[in-house]
């Protein structure tokens, strides 16, 4: 099983961003924890971060055929990127959306989530643990579907 892990704009700066919202881990720390979780579950990850919407879309178009699911933190694109939403929907892959902070309890513009309706699950507010819970839930979902 191969999972695409996608980090959107500004997530390369984790560790230096507002710790109250995002915690203290760097993106490398988070990717390290994700790869341990993947190893434990015998799955492989293809990890990608970009600050550019089009690059995220190119990555999805190029790699979705070889993957079983997507774990994504779209950063601020969550709140307005219809083209990223379309690209995710076009993959037809089960997608789990994660956020370090609880986007429903911050500024009003963060309450808008254009991925609503196309993801199988959204995990928010657990800081770096959102990613781990999200990956585990995605793997379990794919395994359950395969065994039906
Ligand atoms: C975020 C929440 C977004 O609103 C914000 O723009 C981010 C990070 C989170 O993980 O909490 O960059 O996706």
- Torsion-angle region of 15 (φ positive above 0: left; ψ -120 to 50: alpha; else: beta): left
Nearest CA to ligand 1 atom 6: 76
> Is residue 102 a contact partner of residue 38, using CB atoms and an 8 Å limit?
no
Nearest Cα residue to atom 10 of ligand 1: 99
The pLDDT tens digits of the residues spanning 115-145 come to 999 999 999 999 999 999 999 999 999 999 9
The rounded distance, in Å, linking the Cα atoms of 61 and 40 is 28
22 is catalytic: yes
> pLDDT, tens digit, for every residue of 13-54?
999 999 999 999 999 999 999 999 999 999 999 999 999 999
Q: Cα(1) to centroid of ligand 1, in Å?
A: 27
Q: Which CATH number describes the domain made up of 2-119?
A: 3.40.50.9100
SS3 15: coil
Known catalytic residue: 80? Answer: no
pTM for the full model? 0.98
């Amino acid at each position: 099983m191969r999972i695409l892990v996608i980090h959107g704009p500004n997530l390369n700066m984790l560790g230096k961003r507002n710790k109250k919202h995002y915690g203290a881990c760097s993106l490398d720390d988070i990717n390290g924890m994700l790869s341990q979780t993947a190893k434990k579950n015998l799955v492989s990850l293809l990890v990608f971060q970009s600050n550019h919407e089009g690059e995220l879309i190119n990555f999805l178009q190029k790699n979705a055929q070889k993957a079983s699911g997507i774990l994504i933190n779209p950063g601020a694109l969550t709140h307005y990127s219809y083209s990223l939403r379309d690209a995710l929907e076009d993959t037809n892959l089960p997608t789990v959306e994660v956020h370090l902070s609880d986007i429903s309890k911050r500024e009003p513009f963060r309450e808008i989530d254009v991925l609503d309706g196309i993801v199988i699950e959204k995990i928010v507010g657990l800081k770096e643990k959102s990613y781990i819970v999200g990956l585990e839930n995605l793997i379990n979902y794919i395994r359950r579907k395969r065994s039906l």
